[in-house]
Structure 1
Amino acid sequence: MTTRNWYSWNLFRYIVRRKGTHSSKPNLKELLLKMPRPQNHVQEMRNHRLKLKEKGKKYLPGILYLQVLGSGSRGSPRSLYFFTDRVRYMFNCSEGTQRLALEHKCKLAKLEHIFITRPTWENLGGLPGLALSAQDVGVPQFVLHGPQGTDELFAAAERFIILKSLGVSLYDCNCDNMYEDDVMTVRYVRLTKKDSGLEESDSDHSLEYTDDDTDYYAHEVNRNGKRLRLVNKTEQRSKIRESLNSNPRITDAMAYICKLKPRPGALSLIKCVEEGVPSGPLLGKLKEGEDVTLEDGRIVKSADVLAPGDSGSVIIVLECPTVDYLESLVENPVFENYQQSTAEEDNIPFCIAHFTPVEVMADPHYKKWMNDFGPGPIHLVLNEQNDCLGSEAVHRMQHKLHLLHPTIFPFLSEQGFDKENPPDQKIVEDNEEKLVEQLMGNSSRSPIPAANIGPTDNTVIQAKTLHCIHLRPKNGLDRSLELKLQPKEYADEAMNNDGFLDALACLQTDINLKTKELGEIAEYPKLIFLGTGSCAPNKHRNTSGILFRITENSSIMFDCGEGTLTQLMRFYGKSEAYRVLASIKAIYISHLHADHHMGLIGLLKARMWATEKPAFVLAPKQISAWLSFYHRRFEPILDKFTLIANGDLTLNSHNELSTEKCNNLFAQLGAKDVSTRNVKHVANSFGVSVTLNDGFKVTYSGDTMPCRSLVDLGRNSDLLIHEATMEDELESEARLKFHSTISQAINIGQQMHAKFTLLTHFSQRYAKIPILPDDAGKTVGIAFDNMQVRVGELPILPLLYPALRVMFSEAWEELDNKATRRKLRLQYGSE
């Protein structure tokens, strides 16, 4: 009997036994206490996955397609997802990939192999976050394919990327070795820089290496309420130090030539009956391709009763990073086996996916190399020339919020979107299932139109998210799932909520009155919230990132979770984003949990598009271990920032900081003070206050429990931005995880006499709307992703909440019902 059935049966027996009695509380409590603990859900999913995998070994996959997750547009993910009905693969995994995979239902439970064309942030910045998500759904093992040393990323990040049940290994990707499984064989082609395979790390830039032995998840608890402790990984850290001292920077790139396993044609039972073949073993022989002799002496040829087989397409995935790699690519004899003039027909590629940058693809040598494959292949381009940022859900949310206040919630950049001929939204939401149905011909929907699928001669396709290259059973390019904006649908969803029009009318009246009361509002300073969720991103809230724009030319970023750069590019659009990137003079990292700093490297690199001046990075000094390792093994980044340790900015440590460095920071920000204090979260966690030259003071809590040190730091702030991870009924859970509840955050603002408290860092269970207490007052607001608020219009934010409750009434009622059930459980459990 399963655990679920045990619960149902015993509850039924209990109800029958208690029927007609006056009180059931003591027996219900006893029953709940005696119920068996459910098995670990991760282990259950893992076991189920292994069973399916073992079962699937009996047949070759019948459905295969490549799907674009990230197009490679400036600041956006670039990733290619390879679906089969047996297993999933991924080519490159840049920052933000897990968020797109979640939105577009690209399931991670069957993902096993990830191929990296070159170990740079654009290709592997999303690996840590993706690994955490895959671990949560029971994936037991990731096998990385890429240049030697690619897997060291996980060893360097093991302090803040905790993989308790997911193993990561690197396949031996040398040119004499091939990978092979039931789906395909993969041939590796090493691409090297001209005259140099590896280069020495920069000697002009250095960062004091701080060996970090901190357990940043010591506060985490297991199901028994006991603290989790990490296994001592001294040996692993020793290997990291050895790698830093002895190994140069990795500069190799890797191309992958994938040959799908051939699949015999399906046996036609109708034709077998017509030929008089009896049921039994003869059918099996025909299916295996053997000719058979019937009892009457007639010979039935397998070719007469089998559909045409699939010889197995060839796919090539590559990145030629710069023109320095061209010689290694175009003169490599391996590719002659696949080019039109020298290849066998079955070896001419059906698709070549290019992660190569624009300037290299424009080179005549690269063009000739492409043309040598003939007119047959589809050339799929995933690089910065594309303009699709990959998410439709953020626009859906923003269009709704825009109805409340058009400048606080402005429309986002719509580059890469088409508003014409919107597709069926159901197809977009369940793309894996619907693609399979369409391909197999058992869908109630129309088959994929001929205009959308079918090989085209000499085609170069600029990739967009959800573009598909079908490989089996049909072949061709499929644009049917291409993302399109549907503004009317988004507005209708909001307007159709009961009472919303009345709530909106009341809100507009209140805003008009408040706007007159506030008078003229200065454009700066202002805040742009790029990430307001905790722990992991979802389609509504990204991880922590707040841009504080002090003036048009001066900004500081408060925390920088994965995907912060993409959010910024989407908010401003490409051209304006470059100016904003140049304005970012400092990036503050409150602590070293992954959801607060995994976007840092991407943002530092992106600033170089706009300015060569390094930014200040204000962070715990322990971050140097991570940044130094990345710089020395993967790509140079130390020239892009100047590190100031948060500990050197504490109220009692200003004198220890270089006066020149401090004055330079203040001058670039237009601030007269930047101070930090330790807060009550994990080790080396800080809150920060920034006081501008005109006296305006903003305090940012980072992650913390309520603590006196933050109150002292933020005394008399004009604005407190405080984390509010949990609702009030979950105070005990917040305490275990060293976070704050909503009311606790509000109370801290009152204690420090902050003029306004703005709440952020909500658990993703409150992705649409958190529950505010009834007495929150007129000086408390809640943050949303892509919210832009000038400090002079902060008093408008509390006016929005009644309309927000109506707009997201379904989500709000669900949260309210859950809170009620928790209260009832506590009541029954205490009696």
Structure 2
Amino acid sequence: MQWSTEVVSALSSDTEPAILVVFNDHKYMFNTSENTMRSFLQSGRLWRRTKCLFFTQSRVEKIGGLPGLIMSFADATINNLQLIGPPGLNHLLASMRTYTYRDSIALKTSETPWTTTTDPKPCFTDENVTVYAIPAIPSLEVPLPPSATESTDGTTIQYDDKFAETAVKRKRDLSADAPRKRMNVGDEAFTGTEVTNEGVDAYEDEANAHRKTMIQHMFPGTNIPSPEEVARSNRATLADQPILSSVDVETMSRTRPESFWKQLPTFTNPFPKTSPTMCYLVIGPRYRGKFDAAKAKALGIPNGRVRATLASGQPITIEVKVDGEKVTRTIQPEDVLGKEDPPAAILVLDVPTPAHVSSLLSAFQSSDFYRNIWSEDSSSLSAKEEPKFILRTIYQTCGDGVLDDEMYKTFLRGFGPETNHIIASREFCPDPITFTSVSENQLRLSSIDDKIFPLPKYSLTPKRDLSSVPGLPVKIQTMSSTLQNVMRPWSAPAPDPVIVAADRFHPLVNGTEVLKISPALQRYTTQAHASIAEVIARREIDPVEGADVGIITLGTGGSLPSKYRNVLSTLVKIPGWGNILLDAGEGTWGQLVRAHGLDGPDSVWKTLRDLKCIFISHIHGDHHMGLSQILAKRRELDPPPNEPLYVVSLRSVHLYLREVQDVQDIGIDDPSGNGVIPVLSESIHFNHLGRYLTTGLWKIGGDEPWLEYNKSRESASRMCDALGLEYFKTADVDHRCKCYGASFRHKDGWSITFSGDTAPSPGLRKLGMNSTLLIHEATMSQDELALAKKKAHSTVGQAIAEGMAMNAKNILLTHFSARYAKVPPDLVGRRGLPRMTPLSFNRERQIVPAFDHLNLTIGEMWKIQFYLRPMVQAIEHIENHMGSPSPEPEPSARRRLSTGHRSPSPSPWSGVKKQLG
């Protein structure tokens, strides 16, 4: 049986390390940061047959890609999945309940306690692997003895007096919340009985049972597809694929208990000031020795099935002739099998700070079990005649200062000179592009205009080289997303040649290959530049309100990430005032970093400091699963922000943010007043009633103090003051769940309207009248009107028609289905695009199809009509997300239809039929 390990994602601007252990029948993954699924798509690695996920921390940095991954697993017919991680895992998973659910998968979770023992027991075992969890607790909070308390399983963990006081205080804080109302969840319920210091353990047990009940409601495994249904699913077209988390809330609410919508019981974090980690030792299977045919012949064992029985490890009884007489002989497997190969093993370490090293070293020093692979005198390891297992490779994520720490270097050397060390460190690793396919496109687009189509920020040179650190092991290298390591038969870690060959971006930027620009692209680009220069020289462009307002389309895809488009997010930059983020799908933080870089005066940290408003349109995961990561990163700002960040959204979004806050500080209820301030979308509806609705789809859904109507409106008013806005209003839109669009107007006279996900909606049309810019979803093509209606999305033509109906000066189309990695065919037409000239260009209304990393101002949008022709040419070669060439549009999508706008020559948008309903 062969097995191997693969790096799905490395440490970069947009990913954290994710390690995959691969057997023929099952896979096991360690950590699922944001963009894990997109990394699978980019590399072509396969996730089918994944059996168990392990987490080193219960934090959004390590778990951010989990909800999207689970739903993709379920849709890929993975019916059972196990999750193992530190305390807090259940709470974080249960906090996802309003946007992560599949009845076609059953989930089992297990939280590994922060305890160590000299005789460790596995946290997971099956026919392929045996996994041991090893806590790494910062020495600041868990020193070596003076005192110890015994745990229920006989293991011990040490606390100092200062920590004990903190723990007691947390218990008292917990008891202050009781009593709570009983939540009816069927057979299991969180009763919230009054808690005293003596009753904390019982309270925690009951609270965790409630979380597990919520998880069971999320993933009940009650609708596992039959083999026939799986086959049909594999044959389905993209149009038939489910939209991520697209179950409408009204349907969902009929199948969920009332407590599903209540806030989870508070999670008590035993380490409120630091972040301990869980490391894992993974031991592979033991393999029997090689069958010795010569010995079998000497023993008289005939060829055939009996030899196979012996080879499988079972004894046989045969009759043989000895000195002419028949003798019955029992033969044991060891009589004909060679020496067993000891199992191979890997170690997955997560060491954020040097303070984590002491407890990790102590675990190996104090355990005879771990001394099979570690010793103060590493030469003694090679002297062992029959090791129980052989440690081949250590995957280690190291924070700043860890590799310079003498104790850590001593720890690493203790594994002996033959162990391979794979290092993920922001100090020592370069920051290459992760999503090379879309970046190659961007490289071609940047030849048209490198300001509007900028290259994502990257670095091929690390800040420091590993060779600059004395005392590190010999076999050490930095982690990359191309690495694979075959454990049996053994081969050293090396790049996967298939993935390396698929990367066409880095050879172009490091000079090993030359970017080839086709003659047609060169010609179209030259014509576009000449026309733009002539328009400017003639002063044909009228002054535009908000001309310097920046628009960066961070993600422009539909419900699923793809190689070429991330899920939805748009950044609005208001010079002198601050930034607004419209939706924040998974991976938005990485897109922000790639757009701005980590260093320099205009880095992502400045963008984050200037971020004053995030609007989340609705609870579908593709619109907000990157929100927690952004809030977590904001807490890293030093010095902290001196202004708050207002999050405008529904109760369900604010609810899960508060539940995440229990496990990890993301700035909710910051006593400084400069943390995250909630604004309820319902409270700033353009047709507000002075109160919340309490019945129907649009009801507020709760009665928590932070929902208070007037307080929310006051917060919205302060947000408008901070951004120089006259108003920020919402409108209910037509989607399969409660969803809001938004419109805001600046004191300088410009306005922006954002649709969220919606079919054409009269309320948004009314709110957005005369907008300077309409940002509207355009999920479907014109020949998919029925599908768009069914899924409550808009076609390209409908989005343009909505902009025309509200007299928007500019229309930015986004949220394209994964079928449209290129410019949507509706905008191209059967005969291709005509050449725009200074005499024929559209002066009245600009229509811009968005791509990820498009970076332009409102005042530059008129240029896109000139650039569209070279844009189409530049990305003509790309493939769709399924890995096959993008299909030609159907005849109905090729028809050149009037938009109702007259111009001296054919408009580049004349492939779209005008629709006003």
Q: Do the structures match in fold with TM over 0.5?
A: yes
The answer to whether structure 1 residue 597 and structure 2 residue 624 are counterparts is: yes
Q: Is the partner of 1:795 in helix, strand or coil? A: helix
Whether the 8 Å CA contact 1:395–1:485 is kept in 2: the answer is no
CA distance in 1, matches of 2:687, 2:893: 46
Distance 1:238 1:804, change over 3 A: closer
Other-structure match for 1:787 = 854
Displacement after TM superposition at 1:121 (Å): 0.7
Q: Is the partner of 2:619 in helix, strand or coil? A: coil
Equivalent residues in 2 for 1:22-101 (5 A)? Answer: 61-62=1-2, 64-101=3-40
Displacement after TM superposition at 1:531 (Å): 0.1
Displacement after TM superposition at 1:668 (Å): 3.0
Q: Percent identity?
A: 25
Q: Is the partner of 1:358 in helix, strand or coil? A: coil
Distance 1:202 1:136, change over 3 A: farther
Q: Is the partner of 1:145 in helix, strand or coil? A: strand
Displacement after TM superposition at 1:96 (Å): 1.0
Other-structure match for 1:413 = 457
Per-residue CA shift, 1:682-707, capped at 9, x if unaligned? 44321112222321211111111111
The answer to whether structure 1 residue 398 and structure 2 residue 429 are counterparts is: no
Distance 1:397 1:700, change over 3 A: same
CA distance in 2, matches of 1:769, 1:593: 25
Other-structure match for 2:531 = 510
Other-structure match for 2:890 = 817
Q: Is the partner of 1:624 in helix, strand or coil? A: helix
Per-residue CA shift, 1:266-299, capped at 9, x if unaligned? 5588999999996424643674589999989899
CA distance in 2, matches of 1:789, 1:176: 57
Other-structure match for 1:57 = none
Residue identity in the other structure for 1:606: K
Whether the 8 Å CA contact 1:494–1:807 is kept in 2: the answer is no
Distance 1:603 1:572, change over 3 A: same
Other-structure match for 2:647 = 617
Q: Is the partner of 2:451 in helix, strand or coil? A: coil
Per-residue CA shift, 1:13-51, capped at 9, x if unaligned? xxxxxxxxxxxxxxxxxxxxxxxxxxxxxxxxxxxxxxx
Displacement after TM superposition at 1:679 (Å): 1.7
Equivalent residues in 2 for 1:737-748 (5 A)? Answer: 737-748=791-802
Equivalent residues in 2 for 1:242-391 (5 A)? Answer: 243-244=265-266, 253-265=277-289, 279-281=303-305, 283-284=307-308, 287=311, 310-322=341-353, 325-332=356-363, 333-334=366-367, 335-340=370-375, 341=377, 344=384, 345-385=387-427, 386=429, 387-391=431-435
Q: Is the partner of 1:765 in helix, strand or coil? A: coil
CA distance in 1, matches of 2:256, 2:442: 47
Whether the 8 Å CA contact 1:201–1:633 is kept in 2: the answer is no
Q: Is the partner of 1:709 in helix, strand or coil? A: helix
Displacement after TM superposition at 1:159 (Å): 1.6
Whether the 8 Å CA contact 1:702–1:723 is kept in 2: the answer is yes
Displacement after TM superposition at 1:763 (Å): 0.8
The answer to whether structure 1 residue 628 and structure 2 residue 646 are counterparts is: no
Equivalent residues in 2 for 1:569-580 (5 A)? Answer: 569-575=593-599, 576-580=603-607
Other-structure match for 2:585 = 561
Q: Is the partner of 1:668 in helix, strand or coil? A: helix
Q: Is the partner of 2:347 in helix, strand or coil? A: strand
Per-residue CA shift, 1:520-579, capped at 9, x if unaligned? 999831111110011010010000111111116621111100001111112222212222
The answer to whether structure 1 residue 467 and structure 2 residue 494 are counterparts is: no
Q: Is the partner of 2:279 in helix, strand or coil? A: strand
CA distance in 2, matches of 1:524, 1:463: 41
Displacement after TM superposition at 1:672 (Å): 3.0
Distance 1:190 1:306, change over 3 A: same
Which has the higher mean CA deviation after the structures are superposed, 168-177 or 116-125?
168-177
Per-residue CA shift, 1:799-818, capped at 9, x if unaligned? 23333344445779824137
Other-structure match for 2:124 = 179
Displacement after TM superposition at 1:256 (Å): 1.4
CA distance in 2, matches of 1:689, 1:108: 41
Distance 1:201 1:108, change over 3 A: farther
The root-mean-square deviation of aligned C-alpha atoms, in Å, is 4.4
Whether the 8 Å CA contact 1:202–1:636 is kept in 2: the answer is no
Displacement after TM superposition at 1:376 (Å): 2.9
| Pick aligned residue for 1:122 from 61, 66, 81 | 61
Q: Is the partner of 2:133 in helix, strand or coil? A: strand
CA distance in 1, matches of 2:351, 2:171: 21
Other-structure match for 2:466 = none
Displacement after TM superposition at 1:72 (Å): 2.6
Residue identity in the other structure for 1:767: A
Residue identity in the other structure for 2:282: C
Q: Is the partner of 1:94 in helix, strand or coil? A: coil
Other-structure match for 1:551 = 575
Distance 1:125 1:822, change over 3 A: farther
CA distance in 1, matches of 2:30, 2:678: 33
| Pick aligned residue for 1:690 from 744, 747, 760 | 744
Whether the 8 Å CA contact 1:376–1:457 is kept in 2: the answer is no
Q: Is the partner of 1:711 in helix, strand or coil? A: helix
Other-structure match for 1:229 = 251
Residue identity in the other structure for 1:671: L
Other-structure match for 2:104 = 165
Q: Is the partner of 1:681 in helix, strand or coil? A: coil
Per-residue CA shift, 1:694-746, capped at 9, x if unaligned? 21211111111111211121111111111111111111111111111111111
Q: Is the partner of 2:553 in helix, strand or coil? A: strand
Distance 1:515 1:409, change over 3 A: farther
| Pick aligned residue for 2:684 from 649, 653, 661 | 649
CA distance in 2, matches of 1:202, 1:622: 28
Whether the 8 Å CA contact 1:565–1:603 is kept in 2: the answer is yes
The answer to whether structure 1 residue 153 and structure 2 residue 92 are counterparts is: yes
Distance 1:721 1:310, change over 3 A: same
Which has the higher mean CA deviation after the structures are superposed, 403-412 or 281-290?
281-290
Displacement after TM superposition at 1:149 (Å): 4.4
TM-score, scaled relative to structure 2: 0.69
Other-structure match for 2:766 = 712
Displacement after TM superposition at 1:583 (Å): 2.0
Displacement after TM superposition at 1:130 (Å): 0.6
Other-structure match for 1:530 = 554
| Pick aligned residue for 2:46 from 83, 97, 107 | 107
Which has the higher mean CA deviation after the structures are superposed, 256-265 or 70-79?
70-79
CA distance in 1, matches of 2:5, 2:171: 36
Other-structure match for 1:607 = 634
The answer to whether structure 1 residue 724 and structure 2 residue 778 are counterparts is: yes
Residue identity in the other structure for 1:794: M
Q: Is the partner of 1:538 in helix, strand or coil? A: coil
Per-residue CA shift, 1:314-336, capped at 9, x if unaligned? 21213244555444322222343
Whether the 8 Å CA contact 1:155–1:236 is kept in 2: the answer is no
Q: Which runs of no fewer than 5 residues in structure 2 stay unpaired? A: 114-119, 143-158, 186-216, 219-239, 324-328, 463-471, 691-709, 834-841, 880-884, 897-917
Whether the 8 Å CA contact 1:400–1:491 is kept in 2: the answer is no
Other-structure match for 1:798 = 865
Q: Is the partner of 1:816 in helix, strand or coil? A: coil
Distance 1:363 1:693, change over 3 A: farther
Residue identity in the other structure for 2:477: I
CA distance in 2, matches of 1:406, 1:553: 26
Displacement after TM superposition at 1:71 (Å): 1.9
CA distance in 2, matches of 1:403, 1:270: 69
